[in-house]
Each structure stands twice: as C-alpha cells, then as structure tokens.
Structure 1
Amino acid sequence: MSSSIEQIKSINHHLRHAIEQVSEGILIIESDTLQPMGPKIVFANRAAGVLSGYEPGSLTGQPIGLVYDPECLNDLVARLPRVAESTKTYQMKKDIVRKGGDRVKLRWTVSAVAGTAGEAVNYTFTLRQLGQPAETIDSHHAPPASAVADSVLNEIGKGLEISRVESLALLVGGTAHDFRNALQAIQTKLTLAQLNCPPDNPARGHIKDAEEATRHAHSLAQKILNFTKGKESKVEVVNLTEMLTDVANISVMGTQVRCEVGTVADLASVRVESLQVQQVFHNLLINACQAMPNGGVVQVEGRNYSIPAGNNLNLSAGNYVVISVRDRGIGIEASKLSRIFDSDFTTKQNGTGMGLATCKAIVERHLGAITVSSRVNVGTEFKIFLPACAPIESRGAGSAPARQTPQNSSDFPAPGTGRILVVDDTDSVREAAEQLLAHLGYQTVSASNGQEAVEKYRDSILTPEPITAVLLDMTLPGGLSGEEVKREIQQFDRNARVIATSGYFDDDAEGLLRNEGWAGVLPKPYAVEDLSSAISRAMQN
C-alpha cells in the first residue's frame, strides 16, 4: 500500500510541472456532493489561481462553492451525478467569484473520472476566459489543459488501481485468516463431540462428514492465502486435475456459473511454476464467467496429446498435456481474434488487455502454447498445451491430506503433563484449545492479549506449578504482538518454550520461525494430533 502511495506522489511530482504550464485553469474536486458548499477542491493549478485571485495551494481543501457562481451552485451539484453517468464533457458559461468578491464570466467544462466499477472518483473542471480559443497554444508552448490533465489523471489512476488491488489482497488475506480461526473452533468442537459420542450413535457419521467439509474449507482458505500473497513460485511437478479443481472452486465463487472439470484417468503431470499456471487458469475461468452473465456451465477438460515435428504451434515434438476451457457465452468477433493476446487489446469496457497477454507469456515461458477459437453467441474455447512428464498419484481433488479423528478416548494421543498458557484474542479459539489440552492431560491458563500473557507467565515462575509452554497466536490486535510477547517472556526466562500459531502461516513458516527462537509452529486449523505433537517436541527442546 505505502509503495503505491509513493508511486502516486512520484507521478504527481514529475507531471505537476507540465500541468502548471497550461493556460487553462484546472480544478479537480472530490466526488462527495453532499457538502454544504459543494465538493472540496483537491487540486488547483497555477492558472486556476490566476483566474480566481487565490494562491493555488489555498484553494485545496476549500469547497467548489468558494469560486463558483453561488446562484448556480445548487444546480451544478444536482447535475454532477448525471455527469458521472456519462462519458461526455459538459460546457457552461458561469461566473467565477474572485478573491475580494469580483465576478468574471468564464467558460467552464466538467467531466467525471470513473473508477473500475463505474463510480465517480472525482470531477475535473477546466476554466477558460471567454474569447480565448480552445486551441490557441501551438507545439512551442504549453499543451492544452485537457491533454495534460488526462495524462496526469491516467497515471494517477493507474497508481490508485494498484493501491486498490493491494488493499483487496490485504482484505482477502485477513478474511482467510479469520476464516481459519473459525475453522479451528469448529474442528476442535467436532473432535470433542466425537469423543463424547457412543460408538454406535448415528451422529458419528454426520460428525465425520462435517470434518471432511472442514478439511476442504481449510484447503480452500490456504489456496486463497497463497493467491493473495503473490510469493515467488517454485518449479514443481503438478497434478493438473487437482490444480484445475481448486482453481475452478475459487473462480466461480459468487457467480451463477458452474464449472465441470473432467480429465483422463492417466493424465500426465507437468513441471511448472504452480502459482503462475494457476493464474493462467484463473484468468481464463474468470473470463468465461464474465462471458456468461446470466449463468451457465464452463467445461474444463484435460487429456494427453502427442505433437509431431513440424506442427503449426511451433512446439517441439513430444508428449504434452492439453487443457481446454470452453464456455457458452457471447463469443468473440472473428476480426478481433487475431489481436486477442495483444497487451493493449481488450474486449471489455474497463479492461486493460493485460490478462490474456499475461496468460500467453506464462504459457510460452513453460515452452507451451495457447490457442483460441470462438463464434459470436456460441461460445469460446481456449486450449493450453504444456510439456508432459510422468504421471503422479492424485490425492483427490482439492482435499487436504486425510486425518483420522480419534474415535474414542483410547485413540487419543498419549497424555501429557504440565501447565500450558494459551494466548489468543478470539474467545472461541482460546476456549477450544483449552478443552483439547485438558483432554490431553494438561493444565491450562489463558490470556486474551499480549500484556496479560506476559504478566501471567512472569507471575507463574516462582509458583509450585510454573508454566511449561506457551501456545501463542501471532496476530494479536492492539498492544503487544506475538513476536513482542515472546521477546518479553524470554527476557526473564530465556528457556521459555513458546509455540507460534496463526491462520497466516505458509508451509515454510516452521523453518523460518524455529531459526528465530520459537519452540514450535502450529498453523491453524490444527488437529489434536498436531497440537499434542507440537507440545511434546517443545517439551523435549
């Protein structure tokens, strides 16, 4: 987020000089039309200052009503929403109220700058003296204000779009973290329900189904986290059946589209940078959903394919996997198909043209090819060819590694001894962890924030039953963070065994955190076996 803001500032700094040279006044106002004297001015160039008699900087933050004809202000504010609904530029002859109260009639133009959803981000006014031709400035002088303003706003808009994407990633990542916290409480309660349910009770079947759904939800949350973090991909052998199923589940969320994934049983695997290839399939599926706004079915199929030498795809001869993504949407005109992968071409009103160009670049980087065929009002089919390698065994579409929940107390891990401090700001997660630890034989004490955790650990040191390990959530809101709590505790007990737990952890988190002095790492949601194993290892450390 901060890098995007700095980018916007940098763009503004470099282009501000150009916009200050134009002879037309430029005012940019915010989109909030509910202010008493109209929207506030967020930018005024030098010429606007000359025309109004104010210093340009003093205009920033003032309402447009400070300088606009007061008798016509209400009419202007009422018409701004209509301006936002149109892509046109409107002109009018209205007074500007100069500093000191003098009035001068000017030619005003106004247009709206729209966001990605079509909403008005701000409004841009240009001010010109009557009798001043629209094109009085030649190539040796300042360019027309509208051209420079459009350039500035376009660059700023790009920066704002980056900022919005980063904000969305943060929002989705935070939501996935909270979702995994909720899954932790659900999974623990299911485990406890299973333990307290007689062996012949039919409810056991329902509990088992709920546990399977929880595992699938956990896998989905991890996929979303991986997608939003955008971390560097690693090259690995991938089972495309699993990848396609996972990506399909995410891509059709919130739409009326159903995705059918079908692959041959012996589908070869591919060696790829998995996150990049996931992005390719995600882009294609999103496009397919958008092509069918009223719903429908997207068919995704995978098969093995042998390509001979001298093929028209310019691929090396050999074995490939071909994945087709087929929709029954609006289709693409034949005249546009030849440009569909160009970086500056798009068929969408608010598109950038980068999606399919990126897909093509990623596929070709993997020594593959991508093709498209389409008919208007019939549908579109994309085919992706990737070099094949030996098949690998599938673990089942989209599922996390299977775990068997203890069926009764005898199946539970061996009981432990000691006193565990559980630190988590979410009541349901904290209480569930305490209940599991009690079943494992441990005594527990809990804290809902970092400061309370430090105090309880310190107070226990000189008691007959000191705390033997800490189960610490890394993302404590407000006050001390998880890292700070660990540091505080280890200042008065350098041998403290602190286990980090969080819904944000990646697969590689354990190695990194152990090097920083953590006694263990426990990603949420965790099963009872994971909890028991983490504490046992920490005790032996």
Structure 2
Amino acid sequence: MDSGKSPGTTKIIDETTGEFIKTELEAPLEGVHLNEEKSQGGAVDLVQQLRFNEALLESVPIPVFYKDIQGRYLGCNRAFTEAMGVGPEDIIGKTAYDLWPEQQSRRYHQQDENLLKDLTHQEYEFTIIDKNGDIRDALFSKDVFYDEHGNAEGIVGSFIDITDRKRAEKALRESEDRLNKAQQIAGIGSWQYNLQSDSLWWSDELYRIFAMSPEEGPPTIERFLEKIHPDDRANIQAQIASGSAYRSDYRIILPDNRNKFIHEEVEIYRDENNKPIRYVGTAQDITRRKQAEEQLRSNGEFIRTILDSVDEGFIVVDRDLKIISANQSFCRNNGISMKEAIGCTCYEISHRINIPCYEAGGVCPVKQVFDGEYVESTVHQYLDVLNNEIFIEAKAYPLKDSSGEIIAAVEVHHDITKQRKQEEEQLKLQKLEAIGTLAGGIAHDFNNLLQGVFGFVSLAKITLDNPLEAAEMLEQAEHALSLSVNLTHQLLTFAKGGKPVVKQVSLKPLIESASKFALSGSHCECRPNIPDTLWHANVDAGQLAQVIQNMVLNACESMPDGGSIDITAENVILPENDLGHHHNKGKSIRIKITDHGVGIPERYLSRIFDPYFTTKQSGSGLGLATSYSIIKNHGGIIEVRSNKDQGTTFTITLAAVEAQPKDSLQKSQEVVPKYSARILVMDDEVMVRNLAQRMIQSLGHEVVCTADGEKTLEEYQRALAADKHYDLIILDLTIKGGMGGEETMKQLQVFDPNVKVIVSSGYSDNPILSNFQEYGFVAILNKPYTRDELRSCLQKVLPNEPFGAD
C-alpha cells in the first residue's frame, strides 16, 4: 500500500438544500453537515476551522483514526498511514472486518461496543499488524465524539506502539528474576544505602536471610543494627563509620533466638569531591560453613581415630612426593611407625625403590592429581613386611587450600590381595572345567576311532584266507586312523603348538576352493565376492583352508532350511599397531563369512571359541576353537558379530605381503638326476624307526637308524671316515632324555656345512617347524606320515632317485 496521502476535497453539505459547498482542503473529512441557519460567511469560518483541525491532526506524531458508530472508518492522519500502510482512500467507508484479520477485528468491534455503551474514555493493550506485516503490541486510547445534539456520532482513537517498551520490560523482569534466583541459590542477598536520601534498599533474598518481610516496613540502618548480635554490633558500626569498603563476618539474631552467621562485602561509591554517596553490599548466609568448620575442628581427633581403625591405608603427600601424614593401617602394612613415615617419599616406603614409580614405568595417581589429570585407580604389586606378595589398589584425591590451589594429595590404598587370589582360583576352576570338557571330548572321539581300528583289524585277522576281504578290512582301519590323524592335527593346532608352516599364498583360489569343498552335497550355496587384485599372504595353506571350511560349515549348519553364504575379501590398510608381527606397513586382508541363519545367543558369544563347546547336537566343539588358534598363530585376528534370528558374520584379518615373482616360487620344482640314496634316520621311538626303515627301503634306498643325537653324530662321523657319505638325514625334533634334532643339526653343520637334513615331528611349539629353512633344514616331515607322503618329501630334496614300485 501507498503510505502517503492523496490530496482530496472536503465536501460541506447544506442540510436544507442538499448542495455541496466546494473547498480546496486536503482533508478527507466527509459527511460534515451545515445547518440551514448557517450563512455562507459561517461556512467560510467553518472551512478555516476545518483546515486548522486538519493541520493539527496531521501534526500529531501518533496514529489517529476516527469512525462512525457503525464502525465505518471516516479517516486517519499521516502517522496512521505510515504505521499501518493504508491511507484514507483505503479505509473510508470500510469496517475493521474489511481490513484486518477476523480475530483482531472481533476484538476491535467488541471494544467499540463497550465504548459506545459506557461512553467513557477507553484504554487497552492489543496487537496490530503493521505495514510490514509484523505483529506489534499497541496501547489504544479511544473516546466518543458527539453531534450538536449531544448524540454519539462516532469514535476517535489513537494508539502507541509499545512493542519495544514491553520487550524491555520483559527483559528487565527476566534479569531481575535471574538475579533473585541466583541470589537465592547462592544464599547471597544484596543491598544499597543512599547516604543523601538516607534510604536503604534490600533484595528479596536479603529479607529471607534476615527472616524479615517487606510488609513489616522499609528497612533502615537502625533496624539492621538491631538484628546484629550485640558482641558483633560495635565492629559493624565502626566499619560503616570508617567510610571505607570492608569485608566482615558477623552474627545476627533471628526471631526464634537462633544465631545466623553472615559474610558481608561492601563497596562505596563517591561523588566528584570524593565524598561517599552510596554503599552497595552483599550479605551471604555462611551458617552451614561455620558450623562445618567448627564441627571439623571439634571432630579432628575423632576423624583420626576413624582413619586409624579402617583397613585402607591413607597417606597425605606433598608436591615433592613426601609423606606428611599417614594412618595406622598404612604404617602397619609397611612395617614402620608414623614418625618414620613422615618426611620419606611415598615410593621409598610403598615400592621400596629410589625413583618415582612413574619413572619406573608405573601409573602414579598422586602425579595425576598434581598434573590436573583425570585420576584413575591403579593396581600395584608390592612385597609386604613379611615378603609376601600383595596387590594394592591405589587412588588419589586433591587437597586444596582456601584459594582452590592443590597443595597435597590424599592417596588411598585398598588391599585387594584376597580378591585377586579368589579371581585366580576362579580362573583355575574355569580352566579345569574347560580341560575336563576337552578331555571328555577327546576320549569320546578317540574311543570311537579306535573302535574302528581294533574292530576292522580283528576282522582282517579272521579273513586272512580271503585276501580281498582282508584288504578291505585293513583299508577301513586305515581310514579310521586317518580320521584320528585329523583330530590330532586339530588338537595340536588348538594347543600351544601347531605352529603354521607358512609360505606366500594367493588367497582368492584358496578361499574359493575351500568354501566350495565344504559345501559339497549340502543345501547351501556360496556367493564369493573376491577381487582378482587381492593381496597375497604368508600362511599355512592347509591350516587356513581348514579355517575357511570350519567357518563355512558352521554357517551352513546355522541355516537348516538352506540359504546363501556370503564370502567377501578385500584389501585394507590398518594402523600398524592394530595387527601383530609380520605386518607390511598396515597392508592387510579382511575376509568376511556371513550367513543368514539363526544367529548365536549373546550369552554364548564369549564361549564360542572354547574347545568342545557347541550348541549343536552333532557338533564336535573343535571347529571354531581350532580356527581361532590357527588365526592367532598366524598373527591375525578373528572376530564374530551375531544377532539372534538375523545371522552371523565372522571376520578374519591377516597381514598381507608383497607378491614374489613366479620364478622364485617354482625353483623347488626343478628336476635333478636320479640315484639311490644313503639315508640316516634319528628317532627315539623303536616302532617309528622300524616303520621308517621299511618304508625307505621299500622306496629303494639304503637306511640306517639311530635313537638320539649322540649316536647320530657318531654314525655320521664314522660314515665320513669310511668315505660312506650320507645323502640325507631325517631328524626327530624332540628326543626324550637325549640330544634332540635342533642341537644335533648344529653339531652336524660343524662337521659338514653342506649336510642335507629333514626335520620331523609329531608336535612341538618350537619355531623351527614354522621357519625350518632358517635353521638349515631343507624340508619338514610331519608325523604321522604315509609312504606316499614320505616319497613326496624325499623327491623334493634328493636327486631324481629311483623309487620302489607302489
């Protein structure tokens, strides 16, 4: 809308003739009637009066409007137009309902009706919508104007925009409320004393502190001094009379004759002549603090008695880590008197060392206090006065002065030796329970396998007259033994040993092959998603394949009605400290095996890697335990995440390696000339020596067997002296009560640096098995082994010798 005003012509109507008397007024005051008795000269006078009234109305800086008794607008002034954005031409002849929203118009109309009914001056607050469409608060002032007969002819009104004033008033109220609330929370009241007017003002909180009410009358200096305890009154009067700022503690007497302690702080304001004109002060109720201080003083010895009676040790340590106080428990546990403890450093007494415990690699709660750090409790292992091992849980707390500065630390020692021993005993019981479960599982599985061996061997004995049937029985017995070997390998892998014999392997074909094999004949399908660019890893291919098979079989069994198993593998870069040894600058391979089966209950998640623990009736309980041990021995990580009825995901992370050139991986397959070899075998078991001798002889080689390292060295030296050099030696790694394979190898290399030796073992956690080449061995032969496995091993390390017939 146009905020200006269009020039108009005021029409003066003669009531007798109904003719218009035209004038050039810029005033939209339509509907003003002239009586027939008015002369033309009178009309001119009226026009002049109207011009004056119009000029006066336009000069008023507040919005003014006027309307008839039917609520139709008759006009407005310039201030109204500027505020509301509508001029006379926009509102004349219209009601509020034509111009403003219904809710506001209804309120305007109701106020007009009240005014015409009461015929008295009206003021009220309401909202308006200004020219910008903003809602503003306004104070309306309205009156009735009358015709020459005294009848109400219309309403004239004005309003003032009070939005900013109301906001300021609201902000002031909120500020006062916050101040009052803050004073109430802090127990601090404020006051002001005007010396010139001799008037005293108190805040609401100060009235509360002094147990007085504003209804009792205004506060005065006399009434204030009457409240002060007689013993303290003279001091306060002197402070006021001094004309200086002051701080003081005093007591007041409440109506019930109780005393209350007050801490008062006063500032003085002066005029340009340095004459005091106003006191401004605060008064804080410090009764509880005073009572606490008095209680603390009176109970000092009582607290000391309590501290000396508890089992926990307490010491107070200064910034030089010197003990300045200690209770009896601390002194008793360390075998010293309090007099001896005072002045010594805490580490000299507690740790019996000459340097602070944090410099010795320990966690020091006292240092954490002085450094302003978060203080954690820590456990220290000590020797008590009787040289018994004890465990102390220590935590420290800051001791501050009145300014808040930390001046000392209070360290609390809690003896948790008994708790630790109980935890250790509980752990032992859990281990024994696990071992019992393991032993029962082993006995069950081996008894079943041995039943097959004994049964088929006994049947073979009674069918010797039928060679074909006897051979079939022996094959069944051999199969049972093969299953027992697999079980042994799983147990060895789970146990401390079972170290992997690693070499660089491309994992993509290994994972795909192992998963496909595991699902052969099942009702589940595998969906591998493995990129061709997957990095290589140094792994024992057989062991890792066993892990994949265990994971896949476990996933398949979780979906009785069949389903899909998702297998993904990807290259990732991890922080170098997130994966153990043999890590190549954070390069890792992450394998995920996900099923959509029944999931694993949360209460079982912590036990799924325990040996022989299973939730399946047909499960052995060794699959996951074996897999965990294999991955751990590879320096990797295996994790599980499962939600009931939503499936399970196993995640395996292994360190990656740079791929070796293919030529270097194929050198071991080079063919060498053929001949019959002389082989020396060392093993402490007679049955193993006899079996090895027969197998090697059946392959067309000459063989000599020895029982220990000493005899092996004697035989090798004798052969060298007789110019009957051995082409190959097979050494058992572990010899009971004699020199084993490792030491024997060292001695042989002294005699013959070019000696060829195969290391053989059924079980050992010796690093030789996983790194045999570093110790000079040319190959590894795991027991038990078949004739074909022996033949394959010999073929790799000997010149192309003539092997016996199969």
Same fold? TM cut 0.5: no
Say which one has the larger Rg.
2
Q: Which has the higher contact order (CA 8 A, sep 6+)?
A: 1
Q: With structure 1 as the length reference, what TM-score do the two structures score?
A: 0.41
Q: With structure 2 as the length reference, what TM-score do the two structures score?
A: 0.29
